[in-house]
């Protein structure tokens, strides 16, 4: 069983470009490895690193380090994009890269994918502030999203020790459009919640691949998460949804997420607590557990009976 979970073929990636609000937006595609796709996944990154290191991490001898390759091997068509302000997308200082900006970028990305012959809807996955971007995109454009996965998300911010500390620097975030990132900062992501959860083989490749693309990132999502929550309304998210929360995550408070979960209107919903996981799910020792939870949710059959006398 473990060998099957690890089974991954490296898939050739393709770069694409479109525009979001008139600015360049970079997209990265990993097509389904064999036959027609089982579904199309849109991956949405978080506050401090672009899409490729987050979702297509390349580690020598471990193709399963790339969640895009893992899902493409299992028949999914995978897309990711760099929000404006990150990676290979446009990085002008006027781009706040707020949660709302990220939702705009997700719309532009899906417009482009649809223009390539895909008629939707998408399966959307977002992590950390990327979960908020994904949730707001789904709220604004529910017809675009068939199933929604929100990992390491925060709703109101209650019970979040990481955000409590981050709010102390709110004036600093507001005073500059971007903040520097370096090796020490990226290591802090792995160590701040519960040292020892990270997969050691991933650390150096991840840091190298992030810093090859960015030495600074926008402050917009930090400002939103410190001062403007909540930015999404669970009662306006009608599609099947999974909330994925790492056992040791210092941002995603359990009670905060349970309150969000209770308000989701679709009964096809799941709250998954991931043991041994801190905030950065795909870089953890237990990353295969994260993949399996997501895979099970995305491949779940639709209900044939809903208990209201109507077929599904």
Residues ≥6 apart with Cβ < 8 Å to 155: 229, 230, 232, 234, 256, 257, 259, 260
* Mean of the per-residue pLDDT values of the chain: 95
Q: In the predicted model, is pLDDT for residue 310 greater than 70?
A: no
Q: Is the CB of residue 198 less than 8 Å from the CB of residue 100?
A: no
Count of H helices and E strands in the chain? 12, 10
Indicate the angle between helix axes 200-211 and 183-191, nearest 10 degrees: 140
Task: Residue 201: count other Cβ atoms within 10 Å of its Cβ.
Answer: 15
Q: In the predicted model, is pLDDT for residue 150 greater than 90?
A: yes
Q: What is the pLDDT of residues 211-267, one digit of tens each?
A: 999 999 999 999 999 999 999 999 999 999 999 999 999 998 999 999 999 999 999
* Structure confidence at residue 119 as a pLDDT band (50, 70, 90): confident
Q: Is the CB of residue 231 less than 8 Å from the CB of residue 221?
A: no
pTM over 0.85: yes
- The per-residue pLDDT for 307 is 83
Calculate mean pLDDT across residues 200-211: 98
Domains parsed from the chain with CATH numbers? 2-298 (3.40.50.1820)
* Structure confidence at residue 36 as a pLDDT band (50, 70, 90): confident
Identify the CA nearest to 294 among candidates 115, 114, 55: 55
DSSP string, 158-217: TT-HHHHHHGGGHHHHHT-SEEE--HHHHHHHHHSS-TT-B-HHHHHHHHHHHHTT-SEE
Identify the CA nearest to 127 among candidates 43, 69, 234: 43
Q: In the predicted model, is pLDDT for residue 312 greater than 60?
A: no
């Amino acid at each position: 069983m473990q060998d099957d979970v690890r089974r991954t073929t490296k898939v050739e990636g393709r770069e694409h470009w479109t525009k979001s609000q008139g600015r360049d937006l970079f997209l990265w595609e990993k097509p389904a490895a064999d036959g027609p796709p089982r579904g199309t996944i849109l991956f949405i990154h978080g506050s401090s690193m672009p899409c490729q290191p987050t979702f297509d991490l390349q580690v020598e001898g471990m193709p399963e380090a790339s969640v895009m390759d893992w899902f493409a091997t299992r028949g999914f068509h995978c897309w990711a994009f760099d929000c404006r302000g990150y990676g290979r997308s446009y990085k002008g200082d006027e781009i706040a890269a707020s949660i709302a900006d990220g939702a705009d970028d997700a719309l532009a990305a899906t417009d482009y994918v649809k223009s390539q012959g895909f008629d939707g809807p998408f399966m959307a996955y977002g992590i950390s502030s990327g979960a908020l971007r994904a949730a707001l995109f789904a709220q604004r454009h529910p017809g675009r999203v068939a199933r929604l996965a929100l990992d390491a998300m925060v709703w109101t911010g209650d019970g979040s020790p990481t955000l409590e500390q981050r709010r102390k620097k709110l004036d600093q975030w507001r005073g500059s459009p971007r903040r520097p990132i370096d090796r020490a900062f990226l290591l802090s992501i792995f160590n701040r919640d519960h040292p020892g959860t990270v997969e050691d083989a991933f650390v150096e490749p991840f840091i190298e691949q992030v810093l090859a693309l960015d030495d600074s990132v926008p402050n917009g999502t930090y400002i939103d998460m410190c001062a403007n929550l909540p930015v999404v309304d669970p009662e306006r998210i009608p599609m099947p949804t999974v909330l994925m929360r790492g056992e040791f995550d210092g941002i995603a408070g359990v009670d905060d997420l349970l309150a969000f979960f209770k308000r989701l209107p679709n009964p096809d919903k799941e709250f998954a607590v991931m043991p041994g996981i801190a905030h950065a799910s795909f870089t953890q020792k237990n990353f295969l557990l994260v993949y399996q939870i997501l895979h099970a949710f995305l491949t779940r059959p639709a209900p044939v009976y809903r208990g209201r006398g109507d077929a599904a």
